[in-house]
Amino acid sequence: MIQNKAPGKDVSLEDMAEKFPLASKKNNTHFSKFDIGGITFGDSLIPIMAGPNMVESEKLIVETAINVKKAGAHFLRGGAFKPLSFPYRSDKYTETREEGIGWLGVAKKETGLGIITEVMEERYLDLICEVTDILQIGSRNMQNYPLISAAAKTKKPLMIKRHFGASLRDWLGAAEYALYEGNEKIILCERGVTVPHTHRDSSRFLLDLQVVPAAKEITHLPIAVDPSHATFWRPWVTPMSLASVAAGADSIMLEVHPDPENSAVDPLQPIDFDSFKKLMQSMDKVAHINGRHILNV
Amino acid sequence: MIQNKAPGKDVSLEDMAEKFPLASKKNNTHFSKFDIGGITFGDSLIPIMAGPNMVESEKLIVETAINVKKAGAHFLRGGAFKPLSFPYRSDKYTETREEGIGWLGVAKKETGLGIITEVMEERYLDLICEVTDILQIGSRNMQNYPLISAAAKTKKPLMIKRHFGASLRDWLGAAEYALYEGNEKIILCERGVTVPHTHRDSSRFLLDLQVVPAAKEITHLPIAVDPSHATFWRPWVTPMSLASVAAGADSIMLEVHPDPENSAVDPLQPIDFDSFKKLMQSMDKVAHINGRHILNV
Amino acid sequence: MIQNKAPGKDVSLEDMAEKFPLASKKNNTHFSKFDIGGITFGDSLIPIMAGPNMVESEKLIVETAINVKKAGAHFLRGGAFKPLSFPYRSDKYTETREEGIGWLGVAKKETGLGIITEVMEERYLDLICEVTDILQIGSRNMQNYPLISAAAKTKKPLMIKRHFGASLRDWLGAAEYALYEGNEKIILCERGVTVPHTHRDSSRFLLDLQVVPAAKEITHLPIAVDPSHATFWRPWVTPMSLASVAAGADSIMLEVHPDPENSAVDPLQPIDFDSFKKLMQSMDKVAHINGRHILNV
Amino acid sequence: MIQNKAPGKDVSLEDMAEKFPLASKKNNTHFSKFDIGGITFGDSLIPIMAGPNMVESEKLIVETAINVKKAGAHFLRGGAFKPLSFPYRSDKYTETREEGIGWLGVAKKETGLGIITEVMEERYLDLICEVTDILQIGSRNMQNYPLISAAAKTKKPLMIKRHFGASLRDWLGAAEYALYEGNEKIILCERGVTVPHTHRDSSRFLLDLQVVPAAKEITHLPIAVDPSHATFWRPWVTPMSLASVAAGADSIMLEVHPDPENSAVDPLQPIDFDSFKKLMQSMDKVAHINGRHILNV
């Protein structure tokens, strides 16, 4: 009976097999492995996606692309379409939309890096797909199933960020909608949950690293982690990134900005090029302890 | 002063005035009052919206409409488009979509009751607007700002359900998107939040009644409460409905079904016609203690 | 196996019968009724416990006792021993300890009101028992089982406040420790839980009224509610008190102070004598709708 | 600035300096370093405390002590006094109390390992202090301030476990009570918090690793982590232990049992001797990446 599936009893393996036939593991060693532009997810490599929160200008995104590539990043991240909790924007914080997508294209051409960017509306899918290698479904749209289905139908790889209030079961439900469209390149990304006890004015969410082994116990999909958004605080990004790799994350998304304190949005969270370079080297060492790697040998 | 260093600085009045110029109160006695099909929200009447979770069939929805009207309800609720946490549907649980919208139209013609139903995609707005008097934005779409903006632009009244993980600030941000389109008939609806400690296998959410005085302290919009979805358990619907009215709710949404145990979805939560009738009378008595009313005099 | 009792699956009736043989209901109509100094708990009367947070002075406590009695209160509350989250005290906020207990005795003699006050250490039990009619176990000590056992052994009635992080199961476990000592006069008191989304600088907790029907479904013990501590905000005390009575609470505890803004502690939450008097009359009306009463006829 | 209007203003540095003058850092490089039986906490070594949940028998505790010592552990943990959420005990799950404390003494003599064990009542402090090197305040007693004060007065080092519902501010308040008694050897231990979304039937809490950098930002006290209790699930102990070290934990507490599946309590969470040995080696490698170490060189 559906009624005695308890709320805390978020996921039982039986429930999984029944509700999420595509997302659930068939056996203990079942893990998806897939290629995105020559980079394999779900294998020994831990691909790194780095870049600014927003694609503020062509100059900024190209400069960042060059620098994160030099440090070993595998994908360039950056938002041209960007939801905010209220409809007003400062001068600085303006979505660059079509123009920003174009600038991502320039950065891609300059560096060869794959692109990941957020899609918020079906109507912009075609435009965004011309440039992006991975479509990001933001946490606010994790339960916008029509958008997920439409995005999945493009056959572009999808990364689905967990809503800050979503259980593992809710999150896998969203993945199932994408898999149901025949798209097998689905990445899940943890980015912090709301809890009664945050730690700081500038800490909005709690990074849930326990979900990494928990998710990998029941789903074959790769699990990424975004420590920048969860901590919302630069000094914690390095320890939480190392912890994410140690916990078994399959990919890491990081906010990197040439001039973090002047980032158009959330200036407390991006790290600069130097910190990113050092972090890449440390994460690579942690990865090796788990038989994985980040930097190319 | 130590007392205002409380944790959870979700909403300060200054923050409100700046971020939510349209949703925030201009002064302590500022409360919106507006008419929807002859029924006034935000006044001494507490309009009741009742009906089944899903518009299962024409017969079911018409029978329910007749009965909830007889008991004093002001609006008929029922979903024809209905999100689920995973893409699969049982035979019973099938969205009736265009057909269901038509059946709501029949029930409206038969009884004269206003209709409230959920919209999930912009493409169905025209169809739904032909029949509905209030567009419901479900909790899963509370942060789907493009959908809220598109729905608001139709000028139909909107009811925005709070996401189970959303703060008051997040919720008012969603309202601001709707108000920003020049639509002033916006209702907010509390329907339970996730907490670490639920009380029962069949209790998914905790009804947050404290948000009623909290919201009314800072916003002029009417605050509805839906005790059916939060409790997910028939025996608690009556006490929590009475408590909602006592706490100052401006409207109540209830799930009512002719044969609750055979409801196509969530059969543990709807109440039957008799219970609804008794509840209406009790709620009316509680309303009078606060100088308000539910049943017509 | 105990291990697969899921966390959200806080309480199943079977689990209850096994783990909490004394606290759990034997059947659906099983509710404890007991007398404390001529006042019956668990019956149609809803006893009201009112008074200041701290027993600041003899004058204050006697004046308050006289006034809350006049308005219809059944017990006088006030803390002489009082935990704080850190070891430092302002001049104003000093525990009056032995002296305060003496002043409670004076107020009792003057008015005949029963007394409820908090006990924090076994060593003060004898002293406190000379004066008090109900021993309060504060929320911080809800899992201090040795203290609960010692307090229960005195045979004085006990009121156990729910810890802000405790599930219903945790809370009933604490009650079981008390019942296990052969003390049958146990009252449970909800006083707010921590959640990710509070509503105001001055709102520390969320009053969980859904726990009232939830608890009464499985335990025969009377359930009290304390809206003052949960809301931490005077203007919300009245709506949440009415909602508590409407939800089925068996007793209400309220903070009342002759000069609320100058209360030695938490000056944002107590109400004054006039507000208390009006609230008593409104709560009494709500109680009657549920076939209960507060004021004597 | 929008960025520091975050919700959950739990701890501001100013608030810390005022409320917690002893626990708060005086400057950015202020970290306590202290010796317990020849082992330094707060330095480059990350001391490991390992052993069974309960001191079930002399044989079990001595065997475990020998094995965890061989693998490199620095302290032996084991409970002789042990709170449970309800007053009943199975035959297996019986507190061994005075006898158990004696057995810890035997294990100490055999191996030279320091001992850490829980104290629940002041009256047993003398007995426990004869054997233990660190007194553990369990999470249920984190707000039992009289117990903390009494334990601190013995001058034995104290480890204070965070309550599952406690904020960082609440936790540091408890530490302040201990420091206030002039005891400077205080260790804080994170062991999982309650959140709305757990991941598994057997996952009761969510390990909050973000609190490690958060706490170290404001307090000079060493921060330990206990991944066994939080995950409640053997397969997750290794990844979460590595993540704890990567996040900067100053000490790790682990449940190790010779025959985990037959542990008298919580048999899903202890790891066996082999797993512990491998984990020690992996944790040591992660520690080196942060310039620290676990195993002796």
> For residue A149, which of A198, A98, A124, A183 has the smallest C-alpha distance?
A183
pLDDT of B4 above 60: no
* pLDDT score recorded for residue D16: 73
**C-alpha to C-alpha distance for C28 and C216, rounded to whole angstroms:** 9
**C-alpha to C-alpha distance for C83 and C95, rounded to whole angstroms:** 9
Q: Out of B141, B165, B201, whose CB is closest to A164?
A: B165
The residue of C210, C218, C262, C289 whose CB has the most chain B CBs within 10 angstroms, and thus the best one to mutate to test that interface, is C210
Which pLDDT band, with edges at 50, 70 and 90, does C222 fall under?
very high
Percent of chain D having pLDDT more than 90?
A: 71
List CB contacts (< 8 A) between B178 and chain A. none
**Does the CB of A212 have a partner CB in chain D at under 8 Å?**
yes
Under 8 Å between Cβ of A193 and D207: no
pLDDT of D223 above 80: yes
Q: Which two tokens stand for residue A232?
A: 């919302």
Render pLDDT for C241-255 as a digit per residue (tens, 0 to 9).
999 999 999 999 999
Chain D contact partners (≥3 CB pairs within 8 A): A, B, C
Taking the CA of residue B179 and the nearest CA in chain A, the distance in Å comes to 10
CB pairs under 8 A between A and D: 166
Least confident of A86-90, A137-141, C247-251, D237-241: A86-90
**Does the CB of B197 have a partner CB in chain D at under 8 Å?**
yes
Chain A contact partners (≥3 CB pairs within 8 A): B, C, D
**Does the CB of A7 have a partner CB in chain C at under 8 Å?**
yes
**Does the CB of B7 have a partner CB in chain A at under 8 Å?**
yes
Under 8 Å between Cβ of D253 and D50: yes
Average the pLDDT over D63-82 and give the result. Answer: 95
What is the DSSP track for A188-226?
EEE--B--S---STT--SB--TTHHHHHHHHB-S-EEE-
Which pLDDT band, with edges at 50, 70 and 90, does C152 fall under?
very high
Mean pLDDT for chain B?
Answer: 90
B194/D194 touch (CB, cutoff 8 Å), yes or no: no
Better pLDDT: D148 or B2? D148
Which pLDDT band, with edges at 50, 70 and 90, does D125 fall under?
very high
* pLDDT score recorded for residue A13: 67
ipTM of the complex: 0.88
Under 8 Å between Cβ of B168 and B141: no
Contacts of C106 (CB under 8 A, 6+ apart): C58, C61, C62
Contacts of A172 (CB under 8 A, 6+ apart): A11, A16, A20, A23, A24, A188, A215, A218, A219
Mean pLDDT for chain D?
Answer: 90
Least confident of A91-95, A281-285, B70-74: A91-95
Least confident of A235-249, B50-64, C60-74, C216-230: C216-230
**Does the CB of A9 have a partner CB in chain C at under 8 Å?**
yes
Mean pLDDT for chain A?
Answer: 90
The distance from CA A227 to its chain's CA centroid, rounded to whole angstroms, is 10
Better pLDDT: C88 or D253? D253
Better pLDDT: C202 or D212? D212
pLDDT of A253 above 70: yes
Average the pLDDT over B223-242 and give the result. Answer: 93
Better pLDDT: C128 or A1? C128
* pLDDT score recorded for residue B201: 62
Render pLDDT for D46-60 as a digit per residue (tens, 0 to 9).
999 999 999 999 999
Q: Out of B168, B199, B285, whose CB is closest to C210?
A: B199
pLDDT of D11 above 90: no
pLDDT of B13 above 70: no
pLDDT of B109 above 70: yes
* pLDDT score recorded for residue C285: 97
**C-alpha to C-alpha distance for C224 and C36, rounded to whole angstroms:** 14
Q: Which two tokens stand for residue C294?
A: 């507060």
Taking the CA of residue B270 and the nearest CA in chain A, the distance in Å comes to 13
What is the DSSP track for D187-208?
EEEE--B--S---STT--SB--
pLDDT of B249 above 60: yes
> What phi, psi does C210 have (nearest 5°)?
-65, -20
pLDDT of C145 above 50: yes
Better pLDDT: D11 or B219? B219
List CB contacts (< 8 A) between D167 and chain B. 7
* Structural domains of chain B sorted by starting position, each given as residue range(s) with its CATH number in brackets: 11-83+91-289 (3.20.20.70)
Taking the CA of residue C269 and the nearest CA in chain B, the distance in Å comes to 10
Contacts of B291 (CB under 8 A, 6+ apart): B44
Query: What is the C-alpha R_g of chain C?
Result: 18
List CB contacts (< 8 A) between B196 and chain A. 196
> For residue A191, which of A240, A140, A227 has the smallest C-alpha distance?
A227
pLDDT of B270 above 70: yes
Taking the CA of residue D129 and the nearest CA in chain A, the distance in Å comes to 34
Render pLDDT for A164-194 as a digit per residue (tens, 0 to 9).
888 888 899 999 999 999 999 999 999 888 8
Contacts of D2 (CB under 8 A, 6+ apart): none
Chain C contact partners (≥3 CB pairs within 8 A): A, B, D
Taking the CA of residue C163 and the nearest CA in chain D, the distance in Å comes to 9
**B89-94 long-range contacts, CB within 8 A, separation 24+:** B92/B264, B92/B265, B93/B54, B93/B264, B93/B265, B94/B264
* pLDDT score recorded for residue C10: 52
Percent of chain C having pLDDT more than 90?
A: 71
**C-alpha to C-alpha distance for C164 and C226, rounded to whole angstroms:** 12
Which pLDDT band, with edges at 50, 70 and 90, does A224 fall under?
very high
Render pLDDT for A54-82 as a digit per residue (tens, 0 to 9).
999 999 999 999 999 999 999 999 999 98
Chain B contact partners (≥3 CB pairs within 8 A): A, C, D
Which pLDDT band, with edges at 50, 70 and 90, does B92 fall under?
confident
Which pLDDT band, with edges at 50, 70 and 90, does A1 fall under?
very low
What is the reported pTM?
0.90
Average the pLDDT over B273-294 and give the result. Answer: 96
State the residue for tokens 């850490």.
Answer: D116
A9/C10 touch (CB, cutoff 8 Å), yes or no: no
Least confident of A83-97, B60-74, B120-134, D140-154: A83-97
D176/C120 touch (CB, cutoff 8 Å), yes or no: no
CA dihedral C26, C31, C33, C39 (to 10 degrees): 160
Least confident of A280-289, B198-207, D172-181: B198-207
C3/D266 touch (CB, cutoff 8 Å), yes or no: yes
* pLDDT score recorded for residue C230: 86
What is the DSSP track for A151-163?
HHHT---EEEEPP
Q: Out of A8, A10, A194, whose CB is closest to C196?
A: A194
